[in-house]
Structure 1
């Protein structure tokens, strides 16, 4: 108002005088910054290997310990024993854990009683004697011995009628820690013996109401390995419920152990494993590890195939684990490791000439069975400032598609720089073509596409078009892209998502809710706000998506909220947008008062459910409880005052971005003597907006004053000119 008064006074003075003067008001330019959104492998397990040693005698029993070299079949009594061999395996990385499964060469089998025992064998080292016991020291070889793969054992469980109800094949290795006699911690790692047998007394078929159990035992039943499975009759899926191992602490596997007898390991995994449709077999050729917190215990499977509950004489169709196929196309280097991963759907479009000399449009979809041309494809390297990685695909008897990715090791980024298609003009795709049967080249150089940091992968579900602007109007249309051509560590790295991948459905404008919380002293918390949540999640096909929901203004359960003199916690149970009658989501806002009577929001937590009802594209059987939180201090005010912010305020917690708007919160309402809200504490974002408004009004009025003054001066000038002319 003061500014307006000054302006009007100046206008009056200007009109009352014959002088010419103008006044330019200062213009303030506010700078608005957008808040940045922060972005977000178990211990190195090397299963130890056991050295070979010579056979020794204990009483009347001849014991053949582990051996390194294969031996010929031999006869003990009337039993002919044929030695078996264990497969070699490849060390791999799981997370930060390097897992090197033990490889076991052929060994000499022997007979104990009526049982034929095939002992496990390990790399060569020298056995030694402690008292009457032959001790086989553990060794970790620097290079796995060359061995041949032995056939996988198939374990089965049958019902009372002899019908098989569980089938399983796998190699397993156990690793973890144990207490030594000197109270320090030792590590163990060894393979499950080949001679493990099904314990029929402990195994069972299972049903919709009872779990299925495969129990294996060895060493005269002292050691056991039990896998328990459950099924969901509604979704018709099965999964692993628990994995328990009982291991006898022998000197061979647990040197100097403080324990005697058997020790229990394993339990219920913290994640879901082996989840598959009933009637199908879960298969994982790659190594899959189940970790447990206690004893740092882990079970590592290789060449796993398991099928409980519904079995029709043999394994059913295979449902592979994600590790078996990290990408639709995976290029490997000379060591057999992945160096380039790519998933995408692609359509070629353009025009071609028919025999009538006229141009006609074509559309050619890249077949999903396109194969990698290893002769043309190449892995990238990080040794040069700029280097290329090439993925060449061949398909349809002579057609090919080649993409060249360039890495800039100075900026640590990569991009697509060339895409060339050679399409054979077949009648199916190019009817009546003037180049019938001939390969025609399309495409070429590309202005850098898919820019992404090295070690990350580029993802875009939305369609991305590459137009080459040529006479034949050739273009590429990509969808569902996942590409990582450099720095691949077994699977895709961190995701770099394209800007076009927005949530499939943005939330409606969040309604503002009004919530009062009371304790024995009366109202202790008053909350007014609207909120929405944008949540990233993984769909059933292992691709990322996002979904948005708002916090309801009604049907909210706040009974779990609490108030004290120094801590106020607003806890709200709800179902987003009323999708369910069950309130299965929970949001909590924790405010803390310090000794100086200043308070702030000190923690935000959201517990939400990932299932097919809330998140389109997830498997129907998925029901995961997720909890995220952010403990950054924000929304400061003082006792007796309330925090107010009309502008949007974002809180990021892992996969969740929560946006609050129209906030008016008084978490310590008991500090207001007269009741109700106290004095407001405005947020900085609102102050920026409130300053812009008067500045804009002032500038507009100043502009109006200038226009009026100019018009007045022009009018005076014309009046004076006409007076001179009359004189």
Structure 2
């Protein structure tokens, strides 16, 4: 759990009125495997600073401390293929979890998920939005050797739009070997000798910062974003390939101002499910984007049914602090349809409208989610945009021939008229 420190101004907004900043209960989790051997250990302190809207449309700031009675149901050991998970439940419907993945000789945090429940009227009196609210944050923890314990004494934080998560006195080891907590330590950045000491904001220093006049930075002309690289993705069912996809992907995020983000196929992994009538391809770029494409088969009663793209789900994380920029879903598509047993191809750029703030641009698309044979694409049906290229040449040639015929015909008529004029009697 290695987060980024929030800005002092944002912290102050949430800390005003809070007393005893570091007064919180420590939580300790020890997970054991089927043989009653310790496989995961964690002990740390944390608290949450939350800003919420009231029914009168103003905003209140509260501090959520860990109580003494915390449960950790659902925590799992993990292995080479399954992530380890620390899961907590506390208070009136609040929960927190962090999962850890193993990669060769190291492990590291993946995503931190925090859910707070505004139905807890003691914490959120007069909350306008009722019910659980979930915040997902990318964990920036550096890789730790498998036989090392991760230690971070200094306070560090995750900051999202309305929530700041603060951690300190962290001791953690995922994928414990031989049931024994290691004595070798890997320290966080905040504990390194060169790191600045933790300084909590005060009214004085924030006021000074807010009244200072900063010179505007020169505006640089943004460089145009190039088309994305084309990636090759596949899924297997047993030993057989069941889905093939070749595509370049570009996201267009326009919540505040349009931002184009290319998906890098070199850092993107694919997983999903294959079925007789439904298939899902999930792409994870390992940094900030999760995309899921769902295909279905329609008209199963006919001799040769068709498949098409029905749903696209996108979870977009801010690569700077891991906060969720967008979690969008559109399940009403009817795109990329062709006959079952064939593949669909579109070399030209296409646009998928996920919602008003998010689009996906596809390039060099070639997809076959069903009935893949011998790990190869079947005969492709090309999109209309590609077909335009095939029609353009014959249409152009036909038009040229038409004009030529018209010119010849006009010349012939003029020639005949001149000929008749020459034989008239005087």
How does the TM-score come out when normalised to structure 1?
0.30
How does the TM-score come out when normalised to structure 2?
0.49
Q: Which has the higher helix share?
A: 2
- Higher Rg: 1
